[in-house]
Chains A and B, each alone.
Chain A
Amino acid sequence: MKSIKSYHLLVGVLLIAALFLTGCEGAGHKFVKKTEFKDSDKIVLTFAGPVDEVWATNVANFSCYEKPDPDIVLTIKEAVLSPEKTKLTLIFEAPLNTGEAHILSTTNIMSEGQDMGAALLTVKKLYFGVLMTIFLGAALIKNFVFTKYLGLCVFFGCSQKRSTAIGMGMVFTIVIAFAATMAWALYQFVLKPYQLTFLNIVVFIGLVSLSVQGVDTILRKINPALFKAFGVYLVLVIANCIAIAVPLILADNEYTGWESFSLALGAGIGFLIALFLMACVREKLELAKVPPSFQGLPIAFVTAGLFALAFLGFSGLSIY
């Protein structure tokens, strides 16, 4: 018993350590893939394509400050471009306070004679708060069903009974977490380097159906009981437009791997919450005296509207 406990503790510590270790990224511009601290006095920018050397090595094109102190501009001593022209190292005069988020602004990024626009980049390290914010934002504050009105057909179709609602929500959470992580990897490592981001909708739709098919195949063999319980919902996930909204949002906002995962998890849990709440009300509605013209779907829509109003109450919520 004791060995199991220490094993769990180890896994937990490793997971948290991984969170902080991978937390050295998160840019704010389409053409900038990654920003990170290096050593104590360097910031490394990774671009999606080669940049012009004349532009990149001119220190006057960059200005950097700590997020809380915008009036104290840090002096950059030197800018060094790597031979393949995609990695730029900015060397600062004094050591940086890497615990604080830094804001780095650049003039218009020049890449092979093309103007990529000016960038305002964030360089940050501490990460857990960001992940929690994304998770809560997707689950409650910007709940996909109640504030974005996405996934409504599955939402109304599967919210008649509590058991089906929970089943659908769970399957959806698993599939979306799987699909969004893959979508992030494909977007960052295939679509962006080859400048094919205009194809992202096609790729993401394929990924969603792929993960549904994959989960279907594997679950059928590994856990037939669970597969029977999930039944038709697994296939229905493809018809849910939240499954395509999540990859598009994470691509638009240039989320990192962990951020994408927490967005997907938040979307899934948010959908589960929405379905469960709605199913609870609709079970009671079966017994209520509803005017004939409102019976069935119309009263369900009215209820969903009331839920949406109630969810506005979460709009000020923040933990970190």
Chain B
Amino acid sequence: MDPALVKLALGGVATLGCIGLFFGIGLAIAAQKFHVEPDPKVEAVLHTLAGAQ
């Protein structure tokens, strides 16, 4: 196996992993910061409906 290709593949995995981690943490922080309490009534009503559609 060409070492340059191995390097490229490992570098790609590492880079994409970093991008994913970065944006994942960003989304998690955003989700926490902009957290909205879901209305319990919505859940209850949805539960009693048939839910076919």
Contact = CB atoms under 8 A, between A and B. Distances in A.
Given A196-B8, A196-B16, 13 more contacts: A194-B11, A196-B12, A199-B12, A203-B19, A206-B20, A210-B27, A214-B27, A217-B27, A217-B31, A218-B34, A220-B36, A221-B35, A224-B36
A224 B35 CA distance: 12
A210 to B, nearest CB: 5
A190 interface: yes
11 contacts: A186-B19, A194-B15, A195-B8, A196-B8, A196-B11, A203-B16, A210-B27, A217-B30, A217-B31, A220-B36, A221-B34
A213 interface: yes
Interface string A160-171: 000000000000
Interface in A189-225: 190, 194-196, 199, 202-203, 206, 210, 213-214, 217-218, 220-222, 224
Interface string B25-43: 0110011001110000000
A213 B19 contact: no
Interface of B: 8, 11-12, 15-16, 19-20, 23, 26-27, 30-31, 34-36
A210 B34 CA distance: 16
Contact of B15 (A196, A214, A218): A196
Secondary structure call for the A interface: helix
Contacts of B30: 214, 217-218
A240 B20 CA distance: 22
B16 A199 contact: yes
Nearest to B26: A214
Given A214-B27, A217-B27, A217-B31, A190 B15 contact: yes
B36 A194 contact: no
Contacts of B11: 194, 196
A222 B34 contact: yes
A194 B27 contact: no
A188 to B, nearest CB: 14
Nearest to B28: A217
Nearest to A112: B4
A217 B34 CA distance: 7
Nearest to A186: B19
A96 to B, nearest CB: 38
Contact of A221 (B15, B16, B36): B36
A274 B15 CA distance: 38
Contacts of B23: 206, 210
B28 to A, nearest CB: 10
A202 B34 contact: no
Of residues A190, A194, A202, A217, which shows the largest number of chain B Cβ atoms within 10 Å of its Cβ?
A217
A230 to B, nearest CB: 15
A13 B24 CA distance: 37
Contacts of A199: 12, 16
